[in-house]
Structure 1
Amino acid sequence: MAQSDEKLIKELIKGNESAMEILVKRYYDLVYSFIYRNTSDYNTAYDITQDVFIKMMKNIDKYQIENGKFKSWLLKIAVNTTKDYFRSKIYKQRIQSYDIDNHEIEDKANVIDILLKKEDAIKIKEAIKNLPKLQREAVILKYYNDLKI
């Protein structure tokens, strides 16, 4: 039987490392996919996900069960850490140095399909970006992470 988040959190606060491992395994895919949908870069999503779990560990004693589910608290950390990334110098440097000519498409038969999918994805991302902040976060959490609004 799986342990509840609350029990694992209590164990983690006591210093139980296996509780941390269980929580990370339980929520890693959720956090990573949320961040990837915001950054569209595997490596960046990986780095930010690691930061989220480090922040979770450092601040676990601040989590209050009566204020909501652990999953929501953890995703709030993910939202804030992703925002911090977009404000950072690293993000600005990556945007400036991005050069589309460095990307080669190996399978030329699929070029049109790839471009059409990319164009659709860009349109969807732009539409989501143009939403007000709270609506944007709600759409991402609802449709990409299957959370209730």
Structure 2
Amino acid sequence: MRPRRPRLVPVTAARRAVLGPPALSGAGLSASPVLDLRVLWMAVAGGEPPAGPTGGRRDPSPEELEQVRALVALAQTGDSEAFGRLYERYVDVVYRYIYVRVGAVHTAQDLTSETFMKALRALPGFTWQGKDIAAWFVTIARNVVVDHTKSSRFRLEVATADMRDADTEVDAPDGEVLDRLRDQRLLQAVSQLKPEQAECVTLRFVQGLSLAETAEVMGKKENAVKQLQLRAVRALQRALEGEDL
């Protein structure tokens, strides 16, 4: 489900230095994405939530940021391969976000494709700010989902049927089945939060965005996001009180 790409630009030594070798494999969108809930469980269990990226994400190194900046600059000139590299770098975070929002694989695939088509059209007007552009892509994805649902309300509709089907596998280890059931219960609790609280903890602890990135996507100040996060985690603690965290 790759977006239509702009015209090809001739390969030069400078472009090879920026793009490097071709990717070994493309990003596939054929199945439900893996949702890593360990950081969210830690927050609910009373751990101190980190300020930076969570959920397995890390701040990109200066070298990686320079690579992204160069890819953006090339893509803005109509370089299809450069945009393809940006797609491969950010498609997972976009796809996970949309999948959690809509709860259906095929819809998430379609909306992910639409997100990157809109990003492609918007890229000429993008101004590099010296930071990772994951939040920029997720902001576009957020608007695509809003347009799709015809509502600005955040609705967490995780496809729990996938988890239930997996739990019936006879060769699944008992511990893995229990972890899936536990994660399902946590996602159900998140779905019962107020819409902004649900979106906040999803962006922070499932998507792995930093406080600053979450604030950018939600159009809020960082302090407001901190308060939303605190209230959401406390609400989850109350909802899961007495359960084994």
Aligned counterparts of 1:14 and 1:108: Cα–Cα separation in 2: 50
Aligned counterparts of 2:98 and 2:204: Cα–Cα separation in 1: 14
RMSD over equivalenced CA pairs, Å:
3.0
Within the alignment, does 1:145 sit opposite 2:210 as a pair?
no
Amino acid at match of 1:126: S
Amino acid at match of 2:110: D
Deviation at 1:13, TM superposition (A): 1.0
Task: State how 1:1-149 maps to structure 2 within 5 Å.
Answer: 4-66=67-129, 69-87=132-150, 117=181, 120=185, 123-127=188-192, 130-133=193-196, 135-149=197-211
Structure with the greater relative contact order (CA < 8 A, sep ≥ 6): 1 or 2? 2
Amino acid at match of 1:140: T
TM-score, reference length from structure 1: 0.71
Can you list the C-alpha shifts for 1:101-135, whole angstroms capped at 9, x where unaligned?
xxxx7x598xxx79x949726622422xx3242x3
Q: Which runs of structure 1 show a deviation greater than 4 angstroms over 4 or more consecutive aligned residues?
A: none
Can you list the C-alpha shifts for 1:27-50, whole angstroms capped at 9, x where unaligned?
111110111111111111101100
Residues 63, 73 of structure 1: 8 Å contact kept: no
- Percent identity, aligned pairs only? 23
Deviation at 1:73, TM superposition (A): 0.7
Unaligned stretches of 5+ residues in structure 2? 1-19, 21-63, 152-164, 171-176, 212-245
TM-score, reference length from structure 2: 0.45
Aligned counterparts of 1:122 and 1:145: Cα–Cα separation in 2: 14
Structure 2 equivalent of residue 102 of structure 1: none
> For the structure 1 residues 24 and 119, does the alpha-carbon distance in structure 2 shift closer, same or farther, using more than 3 Å as the test?
closer
Deviation at 1:66, TM superposition (A): 2.4
Unaligned stretches of 5+ residues in structure 1? 89-104
> For the structure 1 residues 53 and 32, does the alpha-carbon distance in structure 2 shift closer, same or farther, using more than 3 Å as the test?
same
Aligned counterparts of 2:169 and 2:139: Cα–Cα separation in 1: 41
